[in-house]
Structure 1
Protein backbone atom coordinates (compact mmCIF):
# COMPACT_ATOMS: atom_id res chain seq x y z
CA UNK A 1 0.00 0.00 0.00
CA UNK A 2 1.27 3.44 -0.88
CA UNK A 3 0.51 5.58 2.19
CA UNK A 4 1.55 8.89 0.64
CA UNK A 5 -1.35 11.36 0.90
CA UNK A 6 -3.40 8.76 2.77
CA UNK A 7 -5.10 9.28 6.14
CA UNK A 8 -4.95 6.99 9.17
CA UNK A 9 -6.92 6.91 12.41
CA UNK A 10 -5.04 5.37 15.34
CA UNK A 11 -6.79 4.59 18.62
CA UNK A 12 -4.90 4.67 21.90
CA UNK A 13 -2.41 7.10 20.36
CA UNK A 14 -1.27 8.77 23.56
CA UNK A 15 1.38 6.36 24.83
CA UNK A 16 3.32 3.15 24.36
CA UNK A 17 3.06 1.45 21.01
CA UNK A 18 0.20 3.72 19.91
CA UNK A 19 2.29 6.89 20.14
CA UNK A 20 5.16 5.16 18.35
CA UNK A 21 2.83 4.03 15.55
CA UNK A 22 1.91 7.70 15.04
CA UNK A 23 5.61 8.56 14.73
CA UNK A 24 6.27 5.65 12.37
CA UNK A 25 3.45 6.65 10.02
CA UNK A 26 4.80 10.21 9.97
CA UNK A 27 8.28 8.89 9.22
CA UNK A 28 7.02 6.88 6.25
CA UNK A 29 5.16 9.79 4.69
CA UNK A 30 1.51 9.45 5.69
CA UNK A 31 -0.63 12.40 4.63
CA UNK A 32 -2.69 12.78 7.79
CA UNK A 33 -2.86 11.11 11.22
CA UNK A 34 -5.99 11.24 13.34
CA UNK A 35 -4.72 10.51 16.86
CA UNK A 36 -7.56 9.05 18.91
CA UNK A 37 -7.29 9.38 22.68
CA UNK A 38 -9.68 9.37 25.63
CA UNK A 39 -8.17 12.52 27.18
CA UNK A 40 -6.80 15.07 24.74
CA UNK A 41 -4.39 16.52 27.30
CA UNK A 42 -2.59 13.16 27.50
CA UNK A 43 -1.57 13.25 23.83
CA UNK A 44 2.16 13.90 23.27
CA UNK A 45 3.29 16.84 21.19
CA UNK A 46 4.26 15.14 17.93
CA UNK A 47 5.39 18.49 16.54
CA UNK A 48 3.82 17.77 13.18
CA UNK A 49 0.89 19.57 11.57
CA UNK A 50 -0.28 16.30 10.02
CA UNK A 51 -1.41 15.04 13.45
CA UNK A 52 -5.03 15.86 14.33
CA UNK A 53 -6.15 15.02 17.90
CA UNK A 54 -9.48 13.23 18.21
CA UNK A 55 -11.44 12.80 21.43
CA UNK A 56 -12.24 9.09 21.36
CA UNK A 57 -13.12 6.55 24.02
CA UNK A 58 -13.98 3.45 22.03
CA UNK A 59 -16.08 2.04 24.88
CA UNK A 60 -18.53 4.93 24.41
CA UNK A 61 -20.81 4.68 21.37
CA UNK A 62 -21.36 8.45 21.32
CA UNK A 63 -17.60 9.08 21.11
CA UNK A 64 -17.27 6.66 18.21
CA UNK A 65 -20.22 8.20 16.36
CA UNK A 66 -18.83 11.70 16.89
CA UNK A 67 -15.40 10.63 15.61
CA UNK A 68 -16.97 9.12 12.50
CA UNK A 69 -18.74 12.42 11.84
CA UNK A 70 -15.56 14.41 12.42
CA UNK A 71 -13.44 12.12 10.22
CA UNK A 72 -15.50 11.84 7.07
CA UNK A 73 -12.69 10.20 5.12
CA UNK A 74 -10.11 7.68 6.34
CA UNK A 75 -7.98 5.22 4.40
CA UNK A 76 -6.49 3.23 7.30
CA UNK A 77 -8.06 2.39 10.65
CA UNK A 78 -5.55 1.08 13.17
CA UNK A 79 -7.32 -0.30 16.23
CA UNK A 80 -4.65 -0.18 18.90
CA UNK A 81 -6.48 0.89 22.08
CA UNK A 82 -6.31 -1.69 24.85
CA UNK A 83 -6.12 -2.31 28.56
CA UNK A 84 -4.79 -5.28 30.49
CA UNK A 85 -6.13 -6.57 33.79
CA UNK A 86 -3.93 -9.04 35.66
CA UNK A 87 -6.51 -11.64 36.60
CA UNK A 88 -7.11 -15.38 36.90
CA UNK A 89 -10.10 -16.74 35.02
CA UNK A 90 -11.21 -18.48 38.24
CA UNK A 91 -11.11 -15.38 40.46
CA UNK A 92 -11.71 -12.45 38.10
CA UNK A 93 -14.77 -10.35 38.75
CA UNK A 94 -17.33 -9.74 36.05
CA UNK A 95 -16.26 -6.09 36.06
CA UNK A 96 -12.61 -7.03 35.40
CA UNK A 97 -13.53 -9.39 32.58
CA UNK A 98 -15.94 -6.87 31.10
CA UNK A 99 -13.30 -4.11 31.15
CA UNK A 100 -10.97 -6.15 28.93
CA UNK A 101 -13.79 -7.18 26.60
CA UNK A 102 -15.23 -3.66 26.37
CA UNK A 103 -11.99 -2.31 24.90
CA UNK A 104 -10.34 -5.17 23.01
CA UNK A 105 -13.49 -6.71 21.59
CA UNK A 106 -16.65 -4.60 21.77
CA UNK A 107 -14.86 -1.28 21.35
CA UNK A 108 -12.82 -2.47 18.38
CA UNK A 109 -15.85 -4.05 16.71
CA UNK A 110 -17.70 -0.77 17.28
CA UNK A 111 -14.90 1.08 15.47
CA UNK A 112 -15.03 -1.31 12.50
CA UNK A 113 -18.79 -0.94 12.26
CA UNK A 114 -18.52 2.86 12.27
CA UNK A 115 -15.63 3.31 9.86
CA UNK A 116 -15.98 0.48 7.35
CA UNK A 117 -18.91 2.26 5.62
CA UNK A 118 -16.77 5.41 5.26
CA UNK A 119 -14.01 3.35 3.66
CA UNK A 120 -16.49 1.66 1.35
CA UNK A 121 -17.66 5.06 0.08
CA UNK A 122 -14.02 5.89 -0.78
CA UNK A 123 -13.62 2.65 -2.70
CA UNK A 124 -11.78 0.67 -0.04
CA UNK A 125 -9.15 0.88 2.66
CA UNK A 126 -7.33 -1.02 5.38
CA UNK A 127 -8.35 -1.99 8.90
CA UNK A 128 -5.53 -3.22 11.14
CA UNK A 129 -6.44 -4.72 14.52
CA UNK A 130 -3.77 -5.08 17.21
CA UNK A 131 -4.62 -8.56 18.48
CA UNK A 132 -1.54 -9.94 20.36
CA UNK A 133 0.01 -13.39 20.50
CA UNK A 134 -2.05 -14.02 23.65
CA UNK A 135 -5.08 -14.11 21.36
CA UNK A 136 -3.66 -17.34 19.96
CA UNK A 137 -3.27 -19.04 23.36
CA UNK A 138 -3.99 -17.89 26.89
CA UNK A 139 -1.24 -16.60 29.19
CA UNK A 140 -1.50 -17.28 32.95
CA UNK A 141 -2.20 -14.19 35.00
CA UNK A 142 -3.80 -12.23 32.15
CA UNK A 143 -6.53 -14.66 31.27
CA UNK A 144 -9.31 -12.11 30.86
CA UNK A 145 -7.09 -10.07 28.56
CA UNK A 146 -6.17 -13.22 26.62
CA UNK A 147 -9.85 -14.07 26.19
CA UNK A 148 -10.63 -10.58 24.91
CA UNK A 149 -7.81 -10.83 22.36
CA UNK A 150 -8.99 -14.28 21.28
CA UNK A 151 -12.41 -12.76 20.66
CA UNK A 152 -10.77 -9.96 18.67
CA UNK A 153 -8.84 -12.52 16.60
CA UNK A 154 -12.14 -14.16 15.68
CA UNK A 155 -13.73 -10.79 14.89
CA UNK A 156 -10.75 -9.89 12.70
CA UNK A 157 -11.17 -13.08 10.68
CA UNK A 158 -14.92 -12.48 10.37
CA UNK A 159 -14.43 -8.88 9.22
CA UNK A 160 -11.81 -9.97 6.68
CA UNK A 161 -14.38 -12.21 5.02
CA UNK A 162 -17.24 -9.72 5.28
CA UNK A 163 -15.28 -6.76 3.88
CA UNK A 164 -13.29 -8.46 1.13
CA UNK A 165 -15.91 -7.70 -1.52
CA UNK A 166 -15.85 -4.04 -0.48
CA UNK A 167 -12.11 -3.73 -1.18
CA UNK A 168 -11.33 -3.31 2.52
CA UNK A 169 -8.37 -5.37 3.69
CA UNK A 170 -8.37 -6.50 7.32
CA UNK A 171 -5.01 -7.10 8.94
CA UNK A 172 -4.23 -8.89 12.18
CA UNK A 173 -1.29 -7.54 14.21
CA UNK A 174 0.12 -9.98 16.76
CA UNK A 175 2.76 -8.34 18.96
CA UNK A 176 4.50 -10.20 21.72
CA UNK A 177 5.46 -8.39 24.92
CA UNK A 178 6.41 -4.78 24.23
CA UNK A 179 8.34 -2.63 26.71
CA UNK A 180 5.42 -0.49 27.84
CA UNK A 181 3.72 0.21 31.16
CA UNK A 182 0.94 -2.23 30.26
CA UNK A 183 3.31 -5.20 29.86
CA UNK A 184 5.85 -4.36 32.55
CA UNK A 185 4.91 -7.34 34.74
CA UNK A 186 5.08 -9.98 32.00
CA UNK A 187 8.12 -12.28 32.45
CA UNK A 188 9.18 -12.30 28.78
CA UNK A 189 11.81 -10.51 26.72
CA UNK A 190 10.30 -7.27 25.50
CA UNK A 191 10.77 -5.37 22.25
CA UNK A 192 10.95 -1.60 22.09
CA UNK A 193 7.69 0.15 21.14
CA UNK A 194 9.47 2.10 18.40
CA UNK A 195 10.83 -1.04 16.71
CA UNK A 196 7.47 -2.82 16.90
CA UNK A 197 5.63 0.22 15.56
CA UNK A 198 7.98 0.50 12.60
CA UNK A 199 7.45 -3.18 11.76
CA UNK A 200 3.68 -2.67 11.93
CA UNK A 201 3.74 0.27 9.53
CA UNK A 202 6.13 -1.51 7.17
CA UNK A 203 3.84 -4.55 7.26
CA UNK A 204 0.84 -2.42 6.28
CA UNK A 205 2.81 -0.87 3.43
CA UNK A 206 3.87 -4.36 2.30
CA UNK A 207 0.22 -5.57 2.31
CA UNK A 208 0.86 -8.29 4.88
CA UNK A 209 -2.30 -9.96 6.15
CA UNK A 210 -0.78 -11.01 9.49
CA UNK A 211 1.98 -8.97 11.12
CA UNK A 212 4.27 -10.27 13.86
CA UNK A 213 6.23 -7.11 14.72
CA UNK A 214 8.90 -8.27 17.18
CA UNK A 215 11.33 -11.18 17.69
CA UNK A 216 9.23 -12.98 20.33
CA UNK A 217 6.04 -12.86 18.28
CA UNK A 218 7.88 -14.08 15.19
CA UNK A 219 9.21 -17.11 17.09
CA UNK A 220 5.84 -17.86 18.67
CA UNK A 221 4.07 -17.57 15.31
CA UNK A 222 6.25 -20.38 13.99
CA UNK A 223 5.40 -22.53 16.99
CA UNK A 224 1.68 -21.77 16.68
CA UNK A 225 1.67 -22.37 12.94
CA UNK A 226 3.17 -25.84 13.30
CA UNK A 227 1.87 -26.88 16.71
CA UNK A 228 -0.95 -24.77 18.23
CA UNK A 229 -1.02 -27.05 21.29
CA UNK A 230 2.68 -26.38 21.73
CA UNK A 231 2.01 -22.65 22.12
CA UNK A 232 -0.63 -23.35 24.75
CA UNK A 233 1.87 -25.52 26.61
CA UNK A 234 4.62 -22.91 26.27
CA UNK A 235 2.43 -20.25 27.89
CA UNK A 236 1.11 -22.66 30.51
CA UNK A 237 4.69 -23.35 31.62
CA UNK A 238 4.95 -19.70 32.65
CA UNK A 239 2.67 -20.51 35.58
CA UNK A 240 5.46 -22.60 37.07
Structure 2
Protein backbone atom coordinates (compact mmCIF):
# COMPACT_ATOMS: atom_id res chain seq x y z
CA UNK A 1 0.00 0.00 0.00
CA UNK A 2 1.26 3.52 -0.74
CA UNK A 3 2.33 5.09 2.56
CA UNK A 4 0.36 8.30 1.82
CA UNK A 5 -2.88 6.44 1.09
CA UNK A 6 -4.09 5.61 4.61
CA UNK A 7 -2.14 4.56 7.67
CA UNK A 8 -2.78 4.32 11.39
CA UNK A 9 -5.98 6.31 11.62
CA UNK A 10 -4.97 9.27 9.44
CA UNK A 11 -7.36 10.65 6.80
CA UNK A 12 -7.38 8.65 3.59
CA UNK A 13 -6.15 9.75 0.21
CA UNK A 14 -8.47 8.04 -2.27
CA UNK A 15 -6.09 8.67 -5.13
CA UNK A 16 -3.92 5.61 -5.57
CA UNK A 17 -5.86 3.33 -3.23
CA UNK A 18 -7.07 -0.18 -4.06
CA UNK A 19 -10.70 -0.74 -3.13
CA UNK A 20 -13.29 -3.50 -2.93
CA UNK A 21 -16.96 -2.50 -3.22
CA UNK A 22 -19.66 -5.08 -2.51
CA UNK A 23 -23.01 -4.95 -4.27
CA UNK A 24 -21.33 -3.02 -7.09
CA UNK A 25 -23.48 -4.03 -10.03
CA UNK A 26 -26.18 -1.36 -9.67
CA UNK A 27 -27.64 1.40 -7.54
CA UNK A 28 -25.43 2.97 -4.90
CA UNK A 29 -22.67 0.39 -5.36
CA UNK A 30 -22.21 1.24 -9.02
CA UNK A 31 -22.15 4.95 -8.19
CA UNK A 32 -19.52 4.36 -5.48
CA UNK A 33 -17.36 2.57 -8.05
CA UNK A 34 -17.77 5.51 -10.44
CA UNK A 35 -16.83 8.02 -7.75
CA UNK A 36 -13.77 6.03 -6.69
CA UNK A 37 -12.61 5.88 -10.30
CA UNK A 38 -13.12 9.62 -10.73
CA UNK A 39 -11.21 10.25 -7.50
CA UNK A 40 -8.17 8.42 -8.84
CA UNK A 41 -8.32 5.00 -7.19
CA UNK A 42 -5.60 2.83 -8.69
CA UNK A 43 -7.72 -0.31 -8.72
CA UNK A 44 -11.31 -1.13 -7.83
CA UNK A 45 -12.67 -4.62 -7.36
CA UNK A 46 -16.40 -4.50 -8.10
CA UNK A 47 -17.96 -7.34 -6.12
CA UNK A 48 -21.22 -8.75 -7.50
CA UNK A 49 -23.00 -12.08 -7.74
CA UNK A 50 -22.98 -12.07 -11.54
CA UNK A 51 -19.91 -10.14 -12.73
CA UNK A 52 -20.48 -7.70 -15.56
CA UNK A 53 -18.24 -5.17 -17.27
CA UNK A 54 -18.15 -1.71 -15.67
CA UNK A 55 -16.84 1.02 -17.92
CA UNK A 56 -13.62 2.03 -16.17
CA UNK A 57 -10.13 0.76 -16.95
CA UNK A 58 -9.30 0.53 -13.24
CA UNK A 59 -12.32 -1.66 -12.40
CA UNK A 60 -12.10 -5.44 -12.12
CA UNK A 61 -15.45 -7.25 -11.73
CA UNK A 62 -15.29 -10.00 -9.10
CA UNK A 63 -17.78 -12.79 -8.42
CA UNK A 64 -18.85 -12.24 -4.82
CA UNK A 65 -21.84 -13.39 -2.78
CA UNK A 66 -21.54 -11.94 0.72
CA UNK A 67 -23.87 -14.64 2.09
CA UNK A 68 -21.46 -17.39 0.97
CA UNK A 69 -18.36 -17.84 3.15
CA UNK A 70 -16.51 -19.70 0.39
CA UNK A 71 -17.20 -16.90 -2.07
CA UNK A 72 -15.89 -14.34 0.42
CA UNK A 73 -12.75 -16.42 1.01
CA UNK A 74 -12.07 -16.69 -2.73
CA UNK A 75 -12.51 -12.94 -3.09
CA UNK A 76 -10.08 -12.24 -0.26
CA UNK A 77 -7.51 -14.52 -1.87
CA UNK A 78 -7.91 -12.76 -5.22
CA UNK A 79 -8.00 -9.21 -3.83
CA UNK A 80 -5.00 -9.36 -1.51
CA UNK A 81 -3.81 -5.86 -2.43
CA UNK A 82 -6.90 -4.07 -1.06
CA UNK A 83 -6.54 -1.18 1.39
CA UNK A 84 -10.16 0.05 1.29
CA UNK A 85 -13.24 -2.15 1.79
CA UNK A 86 -16.73 -0.72 1.24
CA UNK A 87 -19.55 -2.94 2.48
CA UNK A 88 -22.46 -1.75 0.37
CA UNK A 89 -24.41 -4.91 -0.51
CA UNK A 90 -27.86 -4.87 1.08
CA UNK A 91 -31.41 -6.14 0.94
CA UNK A 92 -34.67 -4.58 2.17
CA UNK A 93 -37.88 -6.64 2.36
CA UNK A 94 -40.33 -4.10 3.86
CA UNK A 95 -41.65 -6.40 6.58
CA UNK A 96 -43.31 -5.45 9.91
CA UNK A 97 -41.93 -7.31 12.91
CA UNK A 98 -45.05 -9.40 13.59
CA UNK A 99 -45.92 -10.19 9.98
CA UNK A 100 -46.45 -13.86 9.11
CA UNK A 101 -43.17 -13.99 7.17
CA UNK A 102 -41.12 -11.77 9.47
CA UNK A 103 -38.81 -14.52 10.69
CA UNK A 104 -37.85 -15.47 7.14
CA UNK A 105 -37.42 -11.81 6.17
CA UNK A 106 -35.27 -11.05 9.19
CA UNK A 107 -33.04 -14.04 8.55
CA UNK A 108 -32.49 -12.99 4.92
CA UNK A 109 -31.82 -9.36 5.84
CA UNK A 110 -29.45 -10.29 8.65
CA UNK A 111 -27.57 -12.64 6.34
CA UNK A 112 -26.90 -9.88 3.81
CA UNK A 113 -26.94 -6.68 5.88
CA UNK A 114 -25.16 -7.88 9.03
CA UNK A 115 -23.44 -11.24 8.52
CA UNK A 116 -22.33 -10.14 5.03
CA UNK A 117 -20.24 -7.21 6.30
CA UNK A 118 -19.00 -9.38 9.16
CA UNK A 119 -17.78 -12.09 6.77
CA UNK A 120 -16.07 -9.47 4.63
CA UNK A 121 -14.46 -7.73 7.61
CA UNK A 122 -13.11 -10.97 9.08
CA UNK A 123 -11.69 -12.03 5.71
CA UNK A 124 -10.11 -8.68 4.89
CA UNK A 125 -8.91 -7.44 8.29
CA UNK A 126 -5.64 -9.41 8.04
CA UNK A 127 -5.15 -8.17 4.47
CA UNK A 128 -5.68 -4.56 5.52
CA UNK A 129 -3.21 -5.03 8.38
CA UNK A 130 -0.55 -6.36 5.99
CA UNK A 131 -1.21 -3.47 3.61
CA UNK A 132 -0.70 -0.78 6.21
CA UNK A 133 -4.07 -0.42 7.95
CA UNK A 134 -6.55 0.88 5.42
CA UNK A 135 -10.24 1.37 6.05
CA UNK A 136 -13.57 -0.43 6.18
CA UNK A 137 -16.74 1.48 5.31
CA UNK A 138 -20.11 0.01 6.28
CA UNK A 139 -23.15 1.44 4.50
CA UNK A 140 -25.77 1.71 7.23
CA UNK A 141 -29.04 3.68 7.41
CA UNK A 142 -30.96 6.18 9.50
CA UNK A 143 -32.97 3.17 10.69
CA UNK A 144 -29.83 2.00 12.47
CA UNK A 145 -31.07 4.43 15.18
CA UNK A 146 -34.86 4.00 15.28
CA UNK A 147 -37.61 1.67 14.03
CA UNK A 148 -39.73 2.47 11.01
CA UNK A 149 -42.56 0.01 11.74
CA UNK A 150 -43.44 -1.03 8.18
CA UNK A 151 -39.82 -2.02 7.62
CA UNK A 152 -38.99 -3.34 11.06
CA UNK A 153 -36.98 -6.42 10.15
CA UNK A 154 -34.71 -4.30 7.96
CA UNK A 155 -34.32 -1.87 10.85
CA UNK A 156 -33.29 -4.74 13.11
CA UNK A 157 -30.64 -5.84 10.62
CA UNK A 158 -29.26 -2.29 10.44
CA UNK A 159 -29.31 -1.93 14.25
CA UNK A 160 -27.17 -5.08 14.29
CA UNK A 161 -24.86 -3.77 11.60
CA UNK A 162 -24.35 -0.53 13.53
CA UNK A 163 -23.34 -2.40 16.69
CA UNK A 164 -20.97 -4.54 14.63
CA UNK A 165 -19.47 -1.45 13.00
CA UNK A 166 -18.76 0.15 16.37
CA UNK A 167 -17.23 -3.09 17.63
CA UNK A 168 -15.03 -3.42 14.54
CA UNK A 169 -13.76 0.14 15.05
CA UNK A 170 -12.61 -0.71 18.56
CA UNK A 171 -11.03 -4.04 17.64
CA UNK A 172 -9.21 -2.85 14.51
CA UNK A 173 -7.83 0.45 15.80
CA UNK A 174 -4.62 -1.17 17.03
CA UNK A 175 -3.74 -2.41 13.55
CA UNK A 176 -4.35 1.02 12.04
CA UNK A 177 -7.60 0.10 10.26
CA UNK A 178 -10.22 2.82 10.40
CA UNK A 179 -13.91 1.79 10.42
CA UNK A 180 -16.52 4.27 9.24
CA UNK A 181 -20.32 4.09 9.25
CA UNK A 182 -22.38 5.92 6.61
CA UNK A 183 -26.02 6.81 7.30
CA UNK A 184 -28.70 7.90 4.85
CA UNK A 185 -32.45 7.97 4.50
CA UNK A 186 -34.09 6.49 1.44
CA UNK A 187 -31.74 6.60 -1.56
CA UNK A 188 -33.04 6.94 -5.10
CA UNK A 189 -32.20 3.40 -6.25
CA UNK A 190 -34.12 0.24 -7.08
CA UNK A 191 -34.15 -0.76 -3.40
CA UNK A 192 -36.37 2.22 -2.55
CA UNK A 193 -38.46 2.15 -5.72
CA UNK A 194 -41.69 1.77 -3.67
CA UNK A 195 -40.94 4.77 -1.48
CA UNK A 196 -43.22 7.75 -2.10
CA UNK A 197 -41.34 10.26 0.03
CA UNK A 198 -38.20 12.26 -0.59
CA UNK A 199 -35.15 10.30 -1.71
CA UNK A 200 -31.47 11.18 -1.86
CA UNK A 201 -29.30 11.01 -4.96
CA UNK A 202 -26.83 8.10 -4.74
CA UNK A 203 -24.18 10.47 -6.10
CA UNK A 204 -24.55 12.66 -3.00
CA UNK A 205 -24.25 9.64 -0.71
CA UNK A 206 -21.10 8.42 -2.49
CA UNK A 207 -19.55 11.90 -2.48
CA UNK A 208 -20.15 12.36 1.25
CA UNK A 209 -18.79 8.86 1.89
CA UNK A 210 -15.50 9.65 0.16
CA UNK A 211 -15.33 13.08 1.81
CA UNK A 212 -15.73 11.36 5.18
CA UNK A 213 -12.86 9.01 4.40
CA UNK A 214 -10.66 11.93 3.43
CA UNK A 215 -11.53 13.64 6.72
CA UNK A 216 -11.00 10.50 8.85
CA UNK A 217 -14.55 10.52 10.22
CA UNK A 218 -16.14 7.68 12.18
CA UNK A 219 -19.68 8.60 11.15
CA UNK A 220 -20.93 10.22 7.94
CA UNK A 221 -24.41 11.74 7.71
CA UNK A 222 -25.04 11.44 3.99
CA UNK A 223 -28.24 13.44 3.59
CA UNK A 224 -30.72 15.77 5.28
CA UNK A 225 -32.72 12.86 6.71
CA UNK A 226 -29.62 11.54 8.47
CA UNK A 227 -28.74 14.98 9.82
CA UNK A 228 -32.25 15.55 11.16
CA UNK A 229 -32.70 12.10 12.67
CA UNK A 230 -29.21 12.04 14.21
CA UNK A 231 -30.28 15.02 16.29
CA UNK A 232 -33.85 13.84 16.88
CA UNK A 233 -33.06 10.39 18.24
CA UNK A 234 -30.62 11.95 20.70
CA UNK A 235 -32.54 14.99 21.86
CA UNK A 236 -36.18 14.21 21.04
CA UNK A 237 -36.57 10.42 21.24
CA UNK A 238 -40.18 10.70 22.36
CA UNK A 239 -41.04 12.68 19.20
CA UNK A 240 -39.42 10.04 17.00
CA UNK A 241 -41.32 7.25 18.76
CA UNK A 242 -44.61 9.15 18.49
CA UNK A 243 -44.01 9.77 14.78
CA UNK A 244 -43.43 6.06 14.16
CA UNK A 245 -46.57 5.18 16.13
CA UNK A 246 -48.66 7.70 14.20
CA UNK A 247 -47.50 6.29 10.86
CA UNK A 248 -48.40 2.77 11.98
CA UNK A 249 -51.80 3.79 13.33
CA UNK A 250 -52.62 5.60 10.08
CA UNK A 251 -51.33 2.75 7.91
CA UNK A 252 -49.04 5.16 6.09
CA UNK A 253 -46.48 2.70 4.76
CA UNK A 254 -43.62 4.26 2.77
CA UNK A 255 -44.84 7.81 3.42
CA UNK A 256 -41.76 9.56 4.74
Shorter-chain TM-score bucket reads: over 0.9
Q: 1:26 aligns with which of 29, 37, 61?
A: 37
Larger radius of gyration: 2
Q: 1:158 aligns with which of 167, 171, 174?
A: 167
- Aligned counterparts of 2:38 and 2:246: Cα–Cα separation in 1: 39
Correspondence for 1:98: 107
Secondary structure of the structure 2 residue equivalent to 1:124: coil
Question: What are the equivalent positions in structure 2 for 1:175-190 lying under 5 Å apart?
Answer: 175-190=184-199
Gaps of 5+ in 1: none
Q: Contact 1:189–1:216 (CA<8 Å) still a contact in 2?
A: no
For residue 187 of structure 1, report the CA deviation from its aligned partner.
4.1
- Aligned counterparts of 2:246 and 2:32: Cα–Cα separation in 1: 32
For residue 229 of structure 1, report the CA deviation from its aligned partner.
4.2
Correspondence for 2:116: 107
Q: Deviations over 1:145-203 (max 9, x none)?
A: 10000000000011111011110111011111111111122343101111211111121
Runs of at least 4 residues off by over 6 Å:
none
Q: Contact 2:50–2:63 (CA<8 Å) still a contact in 1?
A: yes
For residue 5 of structure 1, report the CA deviation from its aligned partner.
1.2
For residue 224 of structure 1, report the CA deviation from its aligned partner.
2.3
CA 1:54/1:226 → structure 2, altered by over 3 Å: closer, same or farther?
Answer: same
For residue 48 of structure 1, report the CA deviation from its aligned partner.
1.3
**What CA RMSD, in Å, does the superposition of the two structures yield over aligned residues?**
1.4
Secondary structure of the structure 2 residue equivalent to 1:8: strand
For residue 225 of structure 1, report the CA deviation from its aligned partner.
3.3
Q: Contact 2:212–2:220 (CA<8 Å) still a contact in 1?
A: yes
TM-score (norm 2): 0.88
Secondary structure of the structure 2 residue equivalent to 1:129: strand
Secondary structure of the structure 1 residue equivalent to 2:216: coil
Secondary structure of the structure 2 residue equivalent to 1:74: coil
For residue 218 of structure 1, report the CA deviation from its aligned partner.
1.6
CA 1:236/1:33 → structure 2, altered by over 3 Å: closer, same or farther?
Answer: farther
- Report the more deviating stretch, 226-235 or 163-172: 226-235
- Aligned counterparts of 1:205 and 1:233: Cα–Cα separation in 2: 37
For residue 99 of structure 1, report the CA deviation from its aligned partner.
0.4
Q: Contact 2:102–2:153 (CA<8 Å) still a contact in 1?
A: no
For residue 221 of structure 1, report the CA deviation from its aligned partner.
1.4
Secondary structure of the structure 1 residue equivalent to 2:114: helix
- Aligned counterparts of 2:42 and 2:231: Cα–Cα separation in 1: 35
- Aligned counterparts of 1:220 and 1:186: Cα–Cα separation in 2: 18
Q: Contact 2:29–2:89 (CA<8 Å) still a contact in 1?
A: yes
Q: Contact 2:181–2:219 (CA<8 Å) still a contact in 1?
A: yes
Instruction: Figure out how many residues of one structure are paired with residues of the other and give that number.
Output: 237
Q: Contact 1:58–1:107 (CA<8 Å) still a contact in 2?
A: yes
